[in-house]
Amino acid sequence: MNSIEDLAVRNDVWNYCDPEGIENLVFTVTKPQDSASKDTIQKYHSLQAIYDSEKKKYDKISERIDITVCQEFKQHYLGKHTVRDKLIALADSIQPTAKDQKQNIRTEFEKLRKGYGNTSLDKWLGRWPALVNNARRFQIENLSESQICDAFIEACRDINPPFYNYMKSKDAQTESQASLIGETAKAMEKLSDAIITALNEINPNHASNGSVT
């Protein structure tokens, strides 16, 4: 994909290929009649020449896709005639859709909130930062940072009762959700630092190393 974009950029036609773009390469100038003025006819031919030059470079990108994409993936863009449509089809074939990604994040949340189970404690803790970052990125409905914080605290109930009781007492004393998230930052806010703080509560030996594996 990157090589296709690089080639399109070098040929100044990426704006016609960008999957997130809307500009199309089309020639919309009406051919003048033979009786038109010389200047009008010359202008038309000049515009036609510019379009033909752009189209030639654009076609080079389409040809590059056909040459570089392996046979098994070509089926994904059958019936697609523009470079943009081909790139979108290829991207969809190798990447999960946003809907799938959101569902995966919800599934991960449900797994983590049940505790670390057969997973090591370190790995379980280390998966919370990614969960928060992904939830923020996709702006998942009914899965806010504060909800993840609450779930994290609840999940620690049996793992470390003192930590759980401490955070719940803060919850009871807090007047606003923003303040609670600030307190929970010791275990969840930025998550990179928060997980280390949580480790300090749950497993001081790991926290002293300043990293989570």
Ordered per-residue pLDDT tens for the chain, 213 residues: 678 999 999 999 999 999 989 999 999 999 999 899 999 999 999 999 999 999 999 999 999 999 988 887 788 888 888 999 999 988 877 766 677 888 889 999 999 999 888 888 888 888 888 888 888 888 888 888 888 888 988 988 888 888 888 877 766 565 555 555 555 555 554 444 555 555 555 555 544 444 444
Running DSSP on this structure, what letter comes out for residue 141?
Answer: T
pLDDT of residue 209: 44
pLDDT of residue 202: 54
Domain layout of the chain by residue ranges = 4-94, 98-202
Sign of CA dihedral 166, 167, 172, 176: positive
pTM for the whole thing?
Answer: 0.45
Q: Tokens 């993840």 — which residue? A: 148
Q: Is 148 exposed, middle or buried (0-12, 13-18, 19+ CB in 10 A)?
A: buried
pLDDT of residue 160: 82
Q: Is 16 exposed, middle or buried (0-12, 13-18, 19+ CB in 10 A)?
A: buried
* Whole-number Å distance between alpha carbons of 32 and 36: 6
| Residue 69 CB contacts under 8 Å (≥ 6 apart), including other chains | 77, 90
The structure tokens listed for 145 are: 């940072």
Tell me the angle at which helices 145-155 and 121-138 cross, rounded to the nearest 10 degrees: 160
Task: Please name which of 95, 61, 89 lies closest in space to residue 75, comparing C-alpha atoms.
Answer: 89
Cα 113 vs. chain centroid, distance in angstroms? Answer: 24
